[in-house]
Amino acid sequence: MSIRERILADTKAAMKSKDALRVSTLRLISAAIKDRDIAARAEDRCTGCEESEIMAILQKLAKQRDESADTYESAGRLDLAEREREEAEIVREYLPQPMEEAEIERAAKSVVEELNASGLKDMGKCMGTLKERYTGRMDFSKAGAKVKTLLSDVA
């Protein structure tokens, strides 16, 4: 079952169980995906956006919810912060298990070796390859730091 199908099925189930928070969050996800589908069709991709793009959308939505929760918390609005955190958890249910620190380091090393990267000038190639392979699973800020360290050592 694709992510789209799973989100649609879960939306229907949430509507039947009258889970308002879950319904609104799943509708928000669906709207973001449909928006990306429209943009993809404008780029002559008639099938809409791909799974990797959906993963990126989900990551972005989860990150936005976390940032909003922090903002609400610092403003003393704990009720709104709690809701944002609950929404972030619902979004994360559709993301694959995030990679551990050691897995990120192994993936970064293998990509640097595979591409025969020889310095910081190859950082973009390495990060592009990592994003192709691990979108939705990898924290790219951590990966970027690892790749930068590896490429600095090579130079």
> What's the CATH code of the domain at 114?
1.10.10.410
Say yes or no: 85 and 120 in one domain: no
Say yes or no: 57 and 80 in one domain: yes
pLDDT one-digit tens code per residue, 41-57: 888 887 778 887 888 89
Q: How confident is the model at residue 100 (pLDDT cuts 50, 70, 90)?
A: confident
pLDDT over 60 at 90, yes or no: yes
For residue 23, the model assigns a pLDDT of: 96
For residue 9, the model assigns a pLDDT of: 96
Residue 23 sits in a domain whose CATH number is 1.10.1510.10
Which whole number is the average pLDDT over 97-102?
84
The residue among 92, 120, 142 that closes a domain is 92
Q: How confident is the model at residue 29 (pLDDT cuts 50, 70, 90)?
A: very high
Number of domains, the chain:
2
Say yes or no: 86 and 18 in one domain: yes
Cβ within 8 Å of residue 82, ≥6 positions away: 69
Say yes or no: 43 and 83 in one domain: yes
Parent domain of 117: 101-154
Say yes or no: 54 and 119 in one domain: no
Beta strand extents in the chain (DSSP E only): none
Contact 138, 107 (CB under 8 A): yes
CA distance 146 to 148: 5
pLDDT over 70 at 154, yes or no: no
Say yes or no: 82 and 13 in one domain: yes
The residue among 67, 92, 117 that closes a domain is 92
**pLDDT greater at residue 39 or residue 71:** 71
Say yes or no: 76 and 145 in one domain: no
Say yes or no: 63 and 16 in one domain: yes
Say yes or no: 13 and 86 in one domain: yes
Say yes or no: 121 and 71 in one domain: no
Say yes or no: 109 and 134 in one domain: yes
Does pTM surpass 0.95?
no
Q: In the structure encoding, which two tokens stand for residue 134, read together? A: 């691990």
Cα angle for residues 39, 136, 154 (degrees, 5° grid):
110
**pLDDT greater at residue 19 or residue 135:** 19
Say yes or no: 86 and 47 in one domain: yes
